[in-house]
Structures are given as C-alpha cells and as structure tokens.
Amino acid sequence: MPTGDDGERIERGDGTMRHFTVHHDGVTIPVSRGGRGRPLVLCPGLNSTQADLHELTELLRRDHDVVTFDLRGHGLASAADRYSFEAFLSDLVAVLAELGRLDLPEAPVLVGYSLGADLAVHYASECPDTVAGLVLIDGANPLPEPFITDADLAEFRAMAEGLATRQETERARGTARQVSLTAQDIHDLNLEIDVVRSGILDRYGKIDRPISMIMSTSIAGDSGEGRAPRHNQLWRAGIERLVRERPHISTSWLDADHRLAFTHAPDIAEIIRSAHHPAGRPTS
C-alpha cells in the first residue's frame, strides 16, 4: 500500500495548495492538490510533467479540486530502474489509492493527456466505480492499424534522440520540467504504446462512466508531405472506429498538433468545464 508523507506543505495565495508525496515501487511521486469544486485528477503523458501542464491546471482549478502529479522519471518524481506502460500505470494507481485514503468528497473526474489518457482508460476499466468520468486528451486512440510501421522506425528513433538531447539541459538544471528517460526508453515506450492501443477498444466496453475525447486534428503536424498525412488520417480513423463502437462517447476536435495540452489550454479547460461541471453551480 502506498503511503503519503504525514506532513503537507501549505502555500497561500489565490487558494490553499497542498503538496505531498506518494512512495511505492521504489519511486517517490510528488503530488499537488488545490482548487475548488468536484475532484479532478490530471495525469500527464510521456515526456510531460505537471509543470508543463501548469496553465491547464490553473484554469481547471477555478471549478475543480485538481490533483496533479509527476510520473516516475518525470519532473520532480524520482528516476526508476524500469519505464514501461505497467510501471506508469502503477504510479497512477498509487496516487489514486492515496487519494482514497484522504477521503475525497466524491469520485474524481480522471483527465489524461497522451499516454496519461491510455493510463486513465486502463485504470477505469479495472475500477470503474472509483471515477466519475474520463476526459482523454489526444491519447487512448484505438488505432485500426499500427501508428509506427517499419518505415517509421528511423524517424521515431531520431525524434526520441532529439527529445532526449533537449531534455539534457533541464536535467542539468534540475528543473520541474526535467525528464530522466533516455532516447532508448522513449523509443521503446512509443512502440509499447502502439501495442497497448491495438487492444484498448475492449477496455472501453468495461467503463460505464461518461467519456469525453479531446483530439488534435493534426497530431503529426500540418505538413502535406512525408508521413504526416498518413498519421493524421490514421488518428482520425481510430476515433471514428471508437465512436462507431461506443456512440455515447463525446468527441471534440481542436485545430492543433499533439502539443494541444500546452497550446490550447483555455479551449480544453472550457470543454472539461462544460462536460463535467455539476448542475446548479455557476461556472467562473
């Protein structure tokens, strides 16, 4: 059973912020909680941190009691000896278990970005009664065919190497945006996520809570050349497949690439507020 620190550091400003840590599986996960209203847990994705999601978090805190955290090897979380989908899922499970110990007034809305969306679906499919609903931001897409083919491997490996190189500066500075994963870790996880998404459609069938999808129209960018058109078309085809199977799922498309959680935070916050704001309570 994961345990949180007994002491919580309190910050006073626009509201009360509570900071604590969750220890499990040899890693330390930093958790922040603040805001007002219905509980909401925001799970970041691969190569993103709660610091990266700061704008979205602050907007959501106007109407929600928002919990954010860093996955292992990201931000202020400790590094780990293994980075896999199941390992990251265990981080989310540990955080939600700790929140259960803190006796939230009601089940939280679970919001996941990118890999965080896939983690949210897997968690909710196993524990549907512990969440009020899901908001999935550009992830958890039941793709009809692999996103990364043999022809894409060199490009994705180069992307992973470039990302790892850029992260070296943040690691050297020890900032809240640092990521400890190597280029090989990132590359292997991208391949694993492709496999996870090939079977995720069945997970949706186990969830009886409201689900909202917020997707980018151009996950691979707006270039009309190279592999971008195929990836963008495949991304839309996956959601079309999902909605055919689960027509109750609502979908919003934003004219953006995969960075939409950072570039379109106000739009995303408004969609979440409209979908999950309790009736009878005025929005800010």
Global model pTM greater than 0.85: yes
Looking at residue 58, what is its pLDDT? 96
Q: Determine the straight-line distance between the first and last CA of the chain, rounded to whole angstroms.
A: 38
DSSP label at 18? E
Output the six-digit token pair for 232: 């963008």
The residue ranges of every structural domain in the chain are: 3-144+199-276
What's the CATH code, domain 3-144+199-276? 3.40.50.1820
Pairing mode, strands 3-4 and 250-254: unpaired
Angle value at C-alpha 179, between 177 and 184, nearest 5 degrees = 155
Q: Which of 99, 49, 42, 90 is nearest to 73 (CA)?
A: 49
252-264 pLDDT per residue, tens: 999 999 999 999 9
Contact 237, 30 (CB under 8 A): no
Number of other residues whose CB lies within 10 A of the CB of residue 233: 11
Please state, in angstroms and rounded to a whole number, the distance separating the CA atoms of residues 126 and 110: 14
Residue 197: strand, helix, or coil: helix
Looking at residue 6, what is its pLDDT? 40
Looking at residue 227, what is its pLDDT? 87
- Which residue positions in the chain have pLDDT lower than 70? 1-15, 277-284
179-223 pLDDT per residue, tens: 999 999 999 999 999 999 999 999 999 999 999 999 999 999 988
Looking at residue 278, what is its pLDDT? 53
